[in-house]
Amino acid sequence: MPTLSLPPNVDSAMKVVTKRFMKYFLFHADLPVFFTALASAFQLPIMRAMSDLFQQLAPKSQDYSAKDIEVLEGLEPVRRRPGMYIGGTDDRALHHLVAEVLDNSMDEAIAGHASVIDLEMTEDGGVTVRDNGRGIPIDPHPKFPDKSALEVILTTLHSGGKFGGDAYKVSGGLHGVGVSVVNALSESLVVEVARDRQLYRQSFSKGVALGPLQAAGPVQNRRGTTVTFHHDPTIFGERSRFRPATLYRMARSKAYLFRGVKIRWTCPQSLLDDGECPAEDTLHFPNGLVDFLTAVIGERPLVTRGFLAGTAPLAEDMGQVEWAVAWPDDNDDGFTNTYCNTVPTPEGGTHETGLRNALTRSLKAYGEMIGNKRAAQVTADDVLGGSGLLLSLFIKDPQFQGQTKDRLSSPEATRLVENAIKDHCDHWLSGDSESGKALLAHAIDRAEERQRKKLAKETSRKTPTKRLRLPGKLADCSRQSKIGTELFLVEGDSAGGSAKQGRNRETQAILPLRGKILNVASATADKMRQNQELKDLIEALGCGVRDSYDEEKLRYERIIIMTDADVDGAHIASLLMTFFYQEMPGLIQGGHLFLAMPPLYRLSHGQTVIYARDDAHKEEIIRTVFGAKKTVEISRFKGLGEMPPAQLKETTMDPARRTLIRVTVPSGRTEEDHEEAKSIADLVETLMGRKPELRFHYIQKHAKFVQDLDV
């Protein structure tokens, strides 16, 4: 049986899924290595419930004294719990390290002390960020006279020049932890500072200084700070690496956000893959967000004659706001990119609320001015739905949610942004009546469509006057509303029988599927129409497919794929996920699709019974829970159909005990989400489509990354 080695930072439940699915794809040529790629494409956050796996723990010592209290010093808390500082140890967290260093250079530029920033990738996988700013101070720190200010900043949490004073009027750094966190999570980090025609250098490893600050000699025509670092693979995984395309997009967005900076990008050709980004580029955009929006929108037709764009100072000398909004006249999804002090805020926040309020109030007032009474029903979602929106706020002392700063929470930002933008919106609408009327009609159409959907949602899921046409194999639930209901898709009548006996009849429906469904990515439309299993599934869901998909008509709140914990079960689950991705993407985007996690083993000793997900989990339970006991009874489940209904309910169907994995795809909110969604579509077509040569090329290209393969 093949074995698969996964990075240590991968969650244990994710390891189980990946291993099970890989067992199939390593043996079947028609779908090779699919789930390895699909697991990275479909982001699968784990949903955990309380389980007997965690309730039955080995006895612990009752002693608890002062010796049990740990005191973490220096940067040790960062290495122990990196997720508290950079949001995890995944690919996004890895690239957040570069963002922290780049933000420091951008703060120098915004403060007027730097005009050029260099972002370079090195052949050995490192990153260098260089600016021509003032340079980090190198004189002894008053509180730590035996250390330079540079060493204090790099090795001490909550140290920096952005807590107050006159060093920075606005900045993205707030907590004084950014560059020290990068230092803590780097295998090596070297800082060079050029000040007063003298070069200084200091080296660090895993947050610890390797020696004192050293003078490296005189320099001419150079000033500023240079940081070169290599991330620690023991934190992020041995196969982790920086992606040139991600860093290039990061640098480009920073250049768009501040017109006064020039960012020079350099990447060795050997690190680039299929022209994903240039090897060298100089990024400078004198028109700011307008240049950004023009590049993103391209030649797409617009509802209005041009962009709504501008800049305005905030009241009370609190900063400045810049915005650019376009309304494409097509069916493609919109996007929203918001920033505060050049820091991306992918979850929006109070500054975005201010812009939404200003636009909505202005458009309603314009509708009232021209006598259109239907304008009163318009909401912010109606106005901005499908639009391309860019917003950049520079504000003093911003407040974010968490160190990764995904959302702005400054309460005053809503009022300041709304007041700054509303007058500009009013003048733009009244000054261009053609665009104003077109935008109002666009928003009213969306408002009426929203109200139609709301009316349909309030209609009962089942009505006494219209009998729903449902497949005969479906054991439906009895609840009239879809809230809290679940449809389990199981393989075969045997598993279906056990599931029907173990279910909650009020909220859980069961649909047995016979054999392996059609691979819709490579099948013709005629084959799909003739496939009875797919017809039954579509009828049971009731929401339609592709363009006719209507989430309001979806009959269940959750769709749960429940297959055997073996190779064939993994195959069926992958085919079902492909079906939903191709035919009902809205169902995944709405968060309705889940994978069940049935156990593979049952372990018992006396009155203690625990279920294990796989071999590794089984050995862990034997070692930690049962200790050295040799009389542990171990039974292996051959399939869901052979599990007693009570056990199936307890381990896989009971919401209070089971473990589910939600299947998600990028939301499409940001430009980066659009890029990732496109790469997912290409990947699914490559691995599941009609061209076997694409799969062959993929195998050749990625075979070098497979480790510990035992065939």
pLDDT tens per residue, range 427-436 = 999 999 999 9
What proportion of the chain, given as a percentage, has pLDDT over 70?
84
What domains, with CATH codes, occur in the chain?
Answer: 85-283 (3.30.565.10), 289-458 (3.30.230.10), 600-636 (no CATH)
DSSP state of 404: T
Instruction: Tell me the per-residue pLDDT of 528-546, one tens digit each, with 9 for 90 and over.
Output: 777 888 888 888 898 888 8
- Provide the CB-side half-sphere exposure for 501 (13 A, CA): 14
Q: Between 466 and 707, name the one with better pLDDT.
A: 707
What proportion of the chain, given as a percentage, has pLDDT over 90?
38
The per-residue pLDDT for 5 is 44
Q: pLDDT band at 283, cuts 50/70/90?
A: very high
Whether the CB-CB separation of 216 and 200 falls below 8 Å is answered with yes
Instruction: Write the CB contacts of 572 (distance below 8 Å, at least 6 apart in sequence).
Output: 491, 513, 516, 517, 561, 563
Q: pLDDT band at 161, cuts 50/70/90?
A: low
- Distance separating alpha carbons of residues 291 and 305, to the nearest angstrom: 17
Instruction: Tell me the per-residue pLDDT of 33-87, one tens digit each, with 9 for 90 and over.
Output: 444 444 444 444 444 443 444 454 455 556 777 777 777 777 888 888 888 888 8
Instruction: Tell me the per-residue pLDDT of 477-496, one tens digit each, with 9 for 90 and over.
Output: 998 888 999 999 998 888 88
Instruction: Write the CB contacts of 345 (distance below 8 Å, at least 6 apart in sequence).
Output: 338, 339, 351, 352, 400, 405, 406, 407, 408
Average pLDDT (151-172) is 63
- Is residue 177 over pLDDT 60? no
The per-residue pLDDT for 648 is 87
Helix (H) or strand (E) holding 39: helix 34-41
Q: Which residues are catalytic?
A: 491, 564, 566, 568
Task: Give strand pairing partners of 46.
Answer: 661
Query: How high does pLDDT run on average in the chain?
Result: 82
Neighbours of 85 (CB within 10 A): 26
Q: pTM for the complete prediction?
A: 0.59
3-state secondary structure of 531: coil
Helix (H) or strand (E) holding 247: helix 244-257
The per-residue pLDDT for 206 is 93
- Is residue 217 over pLDDT 70? yes
The per-residue pLDDT for 455 is 55
Instruction: Tell me the per-residue pLDDT of 344-397, one tens digit each, with 9 for 90 and over.
Output: 898 999 999 999 999 999 999 999 999 988 899 899 999 998 899 999 999 988
Instruction: Tell me the per-residue pLDDT of 292-351, one tens digit each, with 9 for 90 and over.
Output: 999 999 888 999 999 999 999 999 889 999 999 999 988 777 899 999 988 889 899 999
